[in-house]
Amino acid sequence: MRADYDTEGDTIQIELETVRRLEHGERVAGGGVIVGIYEGRPVCLDVLSARRCGVEQPLRTAADRYRLDAEALIAAAQAALAAPDRTVTLDVDGRLAA
C-alpha cells in the first residue's frame, strides 16, 4: 500500500493496487473520500481536506462500504501526514486467527 500527502491540495492518496487507469470514482463519507474503482473493486482512495477535516472517520466509512481494513488505511494516512509530499509505502499482512 502506498500513500502520499499533498500539502498544497491537503489531499492524501492511498494506492491499494497499481492500475493503468480507473474506470470511475465514487464519493463516500459525505464526499470526503473518492474511491477509485477498477474492474469493480477499489484500487485507490483520495482523502480530501485531510488535515482540515481529519482522516479517521472518512476512512472508516469508506472501509465499511468497501470491506477494507480501516486500521491499515488509517495507518497509511497517518504515515503520509507524517512525511508530507513524499510517498510512503506500507506492507500490511492479514491478521492471524486467535
Q: How many CB atoms lie within 10 A of CB 50?
A: 24
* pLDDT for residue 59: 96
pTM: predicted TM-score of the whole model, two decimal places: 0.90
Residue 29 is placed in which grid cell? Answer: 463519507
* pLDDT for residue 68: 95
pLDDT along the chain (98 residues), means of 10: 96 95 92 95 96 94 95 96 95 66
* pLDDT for residue 74: 96
